[in-house]
Amino acid sequence: MRVFILCTGRSGSTAIINACKHIKNYTSSHESLTHSFGRDRFRYPENHIEADNRLAWHLGLLNKLYGDDPIYVHLKRDKEMVAQSFLKRFYIPGSIIDSFCEGIRMTPSEKLSKEMRLKACYDYIDTVNANIEHFLAKKSKVITLNLETIRVDFIQFWNYLGAEGNLEKALHEFDKKHNATSQRRLNMAWRMRLIATREWRHIKSYFHSV
């Protein structure tokens, strides 16, 4: 039995997978096949738990390959908390929110005010959750986990899976911080984007002058 944890990101998926490491009868990983292409992107083993927020953009292929066989989990967190977390991550290379703005919405984040970036975060969250909810509407094995009640919800998840292992150690993972965004990394990302923006303006002005 495969288990797919679908979410927006910034909602506790890393903590969930660390908790799942204490399950003996399932393997588990976090965003393990994001660099693979084609069917290799979805070659998850049997009895495996995968958390990957980018699967919300691959639901058609996920359905084509696995259909109603897996257990699907919708991991949620308070919308405002998710938005504020994403708001900090603009300009970090590989950040899904930066890619969403620049690639999908075609609104480069350096052109947006802080208020507009926050609106983009809300838009991203609503879009991804709507995709997941639509996908799960016709699935028979669905669990919802809320980060705000994760200790109670995870026990229900554990029982639903028929998990074997150390539940006490698993629950202890939710007392730790996972995948926190360091201020040093944020400062570096903002600095690199500022340099890139200045260079781009210089290049544009050069070509306009020739």
Res. 17 pLDDT band, cuts 50 70 90: very high
Burial (0-12, 13-18, 19+ Cβ within 10 Å), 115: exposed
Question: What's the confidence (pLDDT) of residue 188?
Answer: 56
Please indicate, yes or no, whether the overall pTM of this predicted structure exceeds 0.75: yes
Tell me the per-residue pLDDT of 53-104, one tens digit each, with 9 for 90 and over: 999 999 999 999 999 999 999 999 999 999 999 998 887 877 899 889 988 9
Mean pLDDT (whole number) for 23-48: 97
Pairing outcome for strands 71-76 and 2-6? parallel
2 and 66 Cβ atoms separated by less than 8 Å: yes
Question: What's the confidence (pLDDT) of residue 201?
Answer: 47
Tell me the per-residue pLDDT of 173-191, one tens digit each, with 9 for 90 and over: 999 875 555 455 555 544 5
Question: What's the confidence (pLDDT) of residue 187?
Answer: 54
Distance CA 79, CA 125 (A): 7
SS3 of residue 28 by DSSP: strand
CB atoms within 10 A of CB 163: 20
